[in-house]
Amino acid sequence: MLFRFLLLLKNKAVIITGTAKAIKSLKLKVDKISISEIL
């Protein structure tokens, strides 16, 4: 039971960090696009 709970927590952490990385890369892409549009 405890093992399954820890596994669930680990999976959630992986999902959260993955989402954060995706958002960060998306922000960088948007920043580059907006900068090129301004120039």
> What pLDDT was estimated at residue 24?
95
For the entire predicted model, the pTM comes to 0.61
> What pLDDT was estimated at residue 34?
82
Please return the burial class of 1, using the count of CB atoms within 10 Å of its CB with bins 0-12, 13-18 and 19+. Answer: exposed
CA triple 21-9-25, angle to 5 deg: 5
pLDDT digits (tens, 9 = 90+) for 5-39: 999 999 999 999 999 999 999 999 988 888 788 77
Report the b/e string of 9-29 with b at 16+ CB within 10 A: eeeeeeeeeeeeeeeeeeeee
